[in-house]
Chains A and B, each alone.
Chain A
Amino acid sequence: MAQGALRMSRRLRFAPLALLALVIAALIWRLATPGDSNVHSRLEGQPVPQFVLAGAMPGKAALSSSDLATGHPRLVNIFASWCVPCITEVRVLQQLKSQGVIVDGVAVRDRPADVAQFLARNGDPYERIGSDPQSRLQIALGASGVPESFVVDGMGIIRYQHIGPIEESDVSTILAKLHEAK
């Protein structure tokens, strides 16, 4: 009867103990190996997914995956005119550009007029800008937000993923990764 549902056999009575042992083991493991809270990109070492994007604004070259395999490492920056952290990031990108870094842009869910206005107001570090109106490339690249940046070597392989805006303090890391990618 219904009572039977909660009446435990003798062996079942040891089940909580076994479960406890399992949980304790997992917790001991965690205490012994403190977690690395950084999420490592799965795409590092992988080729850039194939894509062809339209130009994001008049007068600016468009971007496709073949543009990323020209023999020179490039920095691909995912940004948007509606993204506030991107405003501060553009200044750092220009600093990188002045040090000889080629920066390409992917404008996510944006309009040509807005992109043009954004660049006119904040400066334009980009060699090429592709428009990604449906976030397709953003998702294919495994980027969870805007801005994010990828160091791509001359063969079209992703070498490094930077999540969030590139700040002054990140410049040396980015330059080192670009150097490694040569």
Chain B
Amino acid sequence: MIAEAGLAALWLATGLAAFQFLLMILALRSEVEVTRAMRAVGVAQGTLTLVAFTMLLLVFARSDMSVALVFANSHSAKPFVYKVAGAWGNHEGSMLMWVTILAVAGAFVALFSKRTSERTLIAGLGSQAILALGFYAFLLIASNPFARLNPAPLDGEGLNPLLQDPGLAFHPPTLYLGYVGLSVAFSLAVGALLTGEVDSRLARAMRPWVLGAWVLLTLGITAGSYWAYYELGWGGYWFWDPVENASLMPWLAATALLHSINVLAARGALKAWTMMLAVIAFSMSMVGTFLVRSGILTSVHAFAIDPERGTFLLALLALYVGAAFILFALRGATLREGAPFELVSRESGLVINNLILSVILGIVFLGTLYPLFVEAVSGEKLSVGAPYFDAVAGPLALILALLVAIGPLLSWRREQRPVLGQLKLPALLGASALVITIIVAPGMTILPRLGFTVATFLAAGSVLPLVVRNPLRAPLATWGMVIAHFGIAVTLGGMAANAAFTSERLSVAKPGEILNVGPWLITLKDVTPTAGKNWTAIEGELRASRAGPAITLKPQTRYFSNPPTETNEAAIETFWNGQLYTVIGKPDASGAWQLRLWWKPFVTLIWAGGVLIAMGGALALLGRLSRLKRRAGASAEWRKARYA
């Protein structure tokens, strides 16, 4: 019954979405008053979809094997957490989660948005409804998550063991919230293009959504990067895998949008550009969803290719993005740009930020799809890997990071003060970092060396906006910006340290043998079999010692029976100054074991920086929301006083 209830809720939500879209057309063509009806329908639609998703969680939690999806992706022996997480560890479930977030976000807009004009709100809610409608149709026609099996099988087929990890319970939902949170910016932009009301009120209405989505995307990417790092056992934090790129592209667009939206909110400028970015950011989310779910590009996220689903998703993508681009092309020209600004100004700084981010986005987009274009044209197979992305995007990212220290110091409209003077100390520190790397590690390659230099400069420069005024009286949004920019410096430093100082040792060893990696002496003490709830493993016992007392690491190779798969569980020990990363592989005929050992100084800074960036965004969001609330409260009181 639970599955049928979920399906029914999904059908009802579909009907409501269609109704919501019709209401918008009605409202835009005539002066009918539909705002209240629109809000109610939006909330009901979101609630029904949430009900459908809850039903899916329930059938997974209860291991109801008569539901085809549970049978294919779960097993009664699985730990409870992974049973529930299994609900979105597959195509149908994750698409339902996707559309649930879309509809619930729409419901929140319907409930709380009071900043835009009514017509723009209606147009925006209508756009959100037509977005949802397409994905409901996709679920109901091509990916029904509630299909039954008759007779019900005794037990399920299991879940990919790589996904049986706490990372899974957290990583996809976070990324999805980020992806789909951008849909609100898309819908509001489309709505504003329809009504022609692109102004600072719209920017203020969009900003919390963009900030929130961006925070979650940042966290999702950071978590995904760490997950790949410890679960795949390759010791790398970013592989330029197409699916990783699929998450990076919306982030890049959202980062640019986040900055240009401030120009629109504060100065009423960059109207067309900001609308363009809002459309592109969510388009990139849809492209990402398409790439992942269609399995069209070869990737470690190996999902099966399904031409029917791929075609359906591609049609939705073409329809929505195409319609938004056409609207932009037709209406964008009618937008009047706001207040002008001088060459040296905060606005110009943000324009440069946007240009560099857009170029990096273009590079990643091109690199991800280039193999496809080449094969379509010439039939030749090739792959674009880290060397291209590092060489092309790396220097641009460094330039951007350098400018991040300067931009926030500029004032709006026109900068007349000698701003560069404030940067003397950061510049001095950056130069010393450069000199130190030349003395300490003369053989270091150019990118890590510049990475250290820029990271030091930015770390010192990013805090200036707080230092030059009273930090306690600075708005929360400024604190957020400073923390996020400081986080960039931290991540950059971690990447440079990882690239420059990582020691690697690939070797075979028999129990009792001693190997060294970096400053560590590592003894293979023993190799023993062990077992967990649904796996068995070979576990190595490594004793690692440096100056202090020895520590023990226990890397495993795990064998899962349902489905039969093998994974490497790296044993990682974190210290304040780096991570010791160990993987055990296969034995050879003489009883020696393959060992992969890495000493990675300061590698943790990469993810610590990511968390800082997200925290900064969250703080800025908090600041914006509390300020809006205060302003709303103030105006209510003013109205009360006036009409009393």
Interface residues of A (CB under 8 A from B): 1-3, 5-8, 10, 13-14, 16-17, 20-21, 23-24, 26-31, 34-35, 37, 39, 82, 84, 87, 121-122
Complex Cα–Cα for A35 and B296 (A): 8
Q: Beyond the given A2-B343, A21-B322, A122-B589, please list 8 additional residue pairs across the A-B interface where CB-CB is below 8 A.
A: A2-B342, A3-B337, A3-B347, A5-B351, A24-B318, A26-B373, A31-B311, A31-B314
- B90 → chain A, closest Cβ, in Å? 21
Inter-chain contact B305/A34, CB cutoff 8 Å:
yes
Inter-chain contact B332/A2, CB cutoff 8 Å:
no
Among the 9-residue stretches B20-28, B155-163, B272-280, the one with 4 or more Cβ atoms under 8 Å from chain A is B272-280
Inter-chain contact A24/B589, CB cutoff 8 Å:
no
Inter-chain contact B369/A16, CB cutoff 8 Å:
no
A contact residues around B317 at 8 Å (CB): 24
Task: Report the nearest A residue to B358, measured CB to CB.
Answer: A6
Q: Which bucket holds chain B's interface residue count?
A: 35 or more
B contact residues around A14 at 8 Å (CB): 329
Inter-chain contact A16/B381, CB cutoff 8 Å:
no
Contacts of B166-207 to chain A: CB distance below 8 A: none
Inter-chain contact A6/B329, CB cutoff 8 Å:
no
A contact residues around B373 at 8 Å (CB): 26
Complex Cα–Cα for A18 and B376 (A): 18
Complex Cα–Cα for A84 and B506 (A): 13
Complex Cα–Cα for A172 and B368 (A): 38
B contact residues around A34 at 8 Å (CB): 305, 307
Inter-chain contact A16/B280, CB cutoff 8 Å:
yes
B contact residues around A35 at 8 Å (CB): 298, 375
Inter-chain contact B588/A84, CB cutoff 8 Å:
yes
Jot down 10 A-B pairs with beta carbons below 8 A, ordered by A: A1-B342, A8-B276, A17-B322, A23-B369, A24-B322, A29-B376, A30-B376, A31-B296, A39-B381, A87-B589
Interface residues of B (CB under 8 A from A): 269-270, 272-273, 276, 280, 287, 290, 294, 296, 298, 305, 307, 310-311, 314, 317-318, 321-322, 325-326, 328-329, 332-333, 337, 340-343, 345, 347-348, 351-352, 354-355, 369, 372-373, 375-376, 381, 508, 586, 588-590, 594
Complex Cα–Cα for A116 and B322 (A): 66
Inter-chain contact A26/B369, CB cutoff 8 Å:
yes
Inter-chain contact B333/A2, CB cutoff 8 Å:
no
Interface centre among A3, A10, A121 (most CB of B within 10 A): A3
- A32 → chain B, closest Cβ, in Å? 8
Inter-chain contact B332/A17, CB cutoff 8 Å:
no
B contact residues around A21 at 8 Å (CB): 322
Complex Cα–Cα for A23 and B337 (A): 31
- Using A87-B588, A87-B589 as known contacts, say yes or no to A3 and B294 having CB atoms under 8 A apart: no
Inter-chain contact A26/B372, CB cutoff 8 Å:
yes
Inter-chain contact A1/B318, CB cutoff 8 Å:
no
Shortest 3 CB-CB contacts between residues of A and residues of B? A2-B348, A6-B273, A17-B325
- Using A6-B273, A16-B325, A20-B322 as known contacts, say yes or no to A121 and B369 having CB atoms under 8 A apart: no
Task: Report the nearest B residue to A16, measured CB to CB.
Answer: B325
Task: Report the nearest A residue to B305, measured CB to CB.
Answer: A34
B contact residues around A39 at 8 Å (CB): 381
B contact residues around A122 at 8 Å (CB): 589
B contact residues around A29 at 8 Å (CB): 376
Instruction: Pick from B296, B305, B333, B588: contact of A10, CB below 8 A.
Output: B333
Complex Cα–Cα for A49 and B306 (A): 42
A contact residues around B345 at 8 Å (CB): 2
Inter-chain contact A27/B314, CB cutoff 8 Å:
yes
Inter-chain contact B340/A1, CB cutoff 8 Å:
yes
- A91 → chain B, closest Cβ, in Å? 11
Task: Report the nearest B residue to A18, measured CB to CB.
Answer: B325
- B295 → chain A, closest Cβ, in Å? 10
Complex Cα–Cα for A87 and B594 (A): 14
- Using A28-B314, A30-B376, A34-B305 as known contacts, say yes or no to A1 and B325 having CB atoms under 8 A apart: no
B contact residues around A7 at 8 Å (CB): 272-273, 337
Task: Report the nearest B residue to A2, measured CB to CB.
Answer: B348
Complex Cα–Cα for A82 and B506 (A): 11
Task: Report the nearest B residue to A13, measured CB to CB.
Answer: B329
Complex Cα–Cα for A23 and B605 (A): 37
Inter-chain contact B351/A2, CB cutoff 8 Å:
yes
Inter-chain contact A26/B376, CB cutoff 8 Å:
yes
Complex Cα–Cα for A7 and B332 (A): 10
Inter-chain contact B314/A24, CB cutoff 8 Å:
yes
Complex Cα–Cα for A16 and B324 (A): 10
Instruction: Pick from A1, A23, A84: contact of B343, CB below 8 A.
Output: A1
Instruction: Pick from A2, A23, A28, A37: contact of B347, CB below 8 A.
Output: A2
Task: Report the nearest A residue to B330, measured CB to CB.
Answer: A13
- A61 → chain B, closest Cβ, in Å? 26
- B554 → chain A, closest Cβ, in Å? 22
B contact residues around A23 at 8 Å (CB): 287, 369
A contact residues around B273 at 8 Å (CB): 6-8
A contact residues around B376 at 8 Å (CB): 26, 29-30
Complex Cα–Cα for A121 and B329 (A): 72
Inter-chain contact B589/A16, CB cutoff 8 Å:
no
Inter-chain contact A30/B381, CB cutoff 8 Å:
no
Interface centre among A7, A10, A13 (most CB of B within 10 A): A13
Instruction: Pick from A6, A28, A82, A121: contact of B589, CB below 8 A.
Output: A121
A contact residues around B322 at 8 Å (CB): 17, 20-21, 24
Complex Cα–Cα for A6 and B372 (A): 30
- B311 → chain A, closest Cβ, in Å? 6
Interface centre among A17, A23, A27 (most CB of B within 10 A): A27
Complex Cα–Cα for A14 and B322 (A): 11
Inter-chain contact B325/A5, CB cutoff 8 Å:
no
- Using A1-B342, A87-B589 as known contacts, say yes or no to A30 and B296 having CB atoms under 8 A apart: yes
Complex Cα–Cα for A94 and B341 (A): 79
Complex Cα–Cα for A35 and B332 (A): 39
Inter-chain contact B314/A2, CB cutoff 8 Å:
no
Complex Cα–Cα for A24 and B280 (A): 15
- A60 → chain B, closest Cβ, in Å? 21
Inter-chain contact B594/A84, CB cutoff 8 Å:
yes
Inter-chain contact A13/B328, CB cutoff 8 Å:
yes
Task: Report the nearest B residue to A39, measured CB to CB.
Answer: B381
Task: Report the nearest A residue to B321, measured CB to CB.
Answer: A20
Inter-chain contact B329/A17, CB cutoff 8 Å:
yes
- Using A26-B376, A31-B294, A31-B311 as known contacts, say yes or no to A5 and B343 having CB atoms under 8 A apart: no
Inter-chain contact B343/A31, CB cutoff 8 Å:
no
B contact residues around A26 at 8 Å (CB): 369, 372-373, 376
Inter-chain contact B588/A3, CB cutoff 8 Å:
no
A contact residues around B269 at 8 Å (CB): 3
Complex Cα–Cα for A24 and B273 (A): 23
Task: Report the nearest B residue to A85, measured CB to CB.
Answer: B586
Inter-chain contact A3/B351, CB cutoff 8 Å:
yes
Instruction: Pick from A5, A20, A31: contact of B310, CB below 8 A.
Output: A31
Inter-chain contact B280/A27, CB cutoff 8 Å:
no
Task: Report the nearest A residue to B370, measured CB to CB.
Answer: A26
Task: Report the nearest B residue to A82, measured CB to CB.
Answer: B508
Task: Report the nearest B residue to A31, measured CB to CB.
Answer: B310
Inter-chain contact A1/B276, CB cutoff 8 Å:
no
B contact residues around A10 at 8 Å (CB): 333
B contact residues around A3 at 8 Å (CB): 269-270, 337, 340-341, 347, 351
Complex Cα–Cα for A24 and B345 (A): 39
